[in-house]
Amino acid sequence: MTDELFKQMAQSIIDGDADAATQLAEQAIQGGLDPLEAITKGFVVGVNFVGQQFAEGEAFLPELVMAGEAMKAAVKTLEPEMMKRGAEREVLGKVVLATVEGDIHEIGKSLVGTMLTAAGFEVFDLGVDASPHKIIAKAIEVNADIIAMSALLTTTMVKQREVIDDLEKEGLRSRFKVMVGGAPITRDWVSRISADGYSEDAIGAVNIAKQLVAAG
């Protein structure tokens, strides 16, 4: 039954059908399914399929856009349930979160933001296409513990390094922990840019953020 639901979820994204994705997300909540499981085993399977088709020239930008919209609709519907389930209320630390400059992929970044908020972090989400200057200025303004950056393109991941380089130049590197993520990010990249933390997914991002604030 659940497997069938996961299949339908994936299919709703492949079809770019935001209404169906919303309905299936509602069904998952009513059925008591873990919302993150609905995302990772259902909806993400669909978005990955469309991404793969796009890479192989079998799907085109409109399909990618529609899959993205359907994915956003599903995550938005599941978000309140994720917040409820994660409700640890003590404030663990402040996180400035953004997708880096030149990159408008927002779904993974927003998911990380939701999970961090649900776990008790205060998250300042700058959205997408955020310049290094904007990210650093916000981190100073709110006295953040962590700067968290998402990048989905091989052409924009260099902006993660630019933020770290700018922090060094401005004598601010030791003031903030920096964590990075996004589909093209690898451990090798993380050590090359001397980031403090990295995770492949949103749950891992919460664990890393907790470790970073605990380490001070």
Give residues in contact with ligand B1M (CB under 6 A).
Answer: 44, 47-48, 50-51, 54-55, 61, 64-65, 67-68, 71-72, 102-109, 111-112, 148-150, 152-154, 179-184, 199, 201-202, 205
CB of 33 to ligand B1M, least distance (A): 17
Contact criterion met (CB below 8 Å) for 126 and 144? no
DSSP letters for 97-165? EEEBTT----HHHHHHHHHHHHHTEEEEE--SSB-HHHHHHHHHHHT-SEEEEE--STTTTHHHHHHHH
Single-letter amino acid, residue 54: F
Q: Which is nearer to ligand B1M, 29 or 203 (CB)?
A: 203
Q: How far is the CB of 36 from ligand B1M (least distance, A)?
A: 9
Q: Which is nearer to ligand B1M, 2 or 155 (CB)?
A: 155
Which residue has its beta carbon closest to ligand B1M? 108
Nearer to ligand B1M, 62 or 171 (CB): 62
Comparing CB distances to ligand B1M, the nearer of 1 and 55 is 55
Q: Which residues contact 105 (CB under 8 A, 6 or more apart)?
A: 99, 128, 150, 152, 153, 182
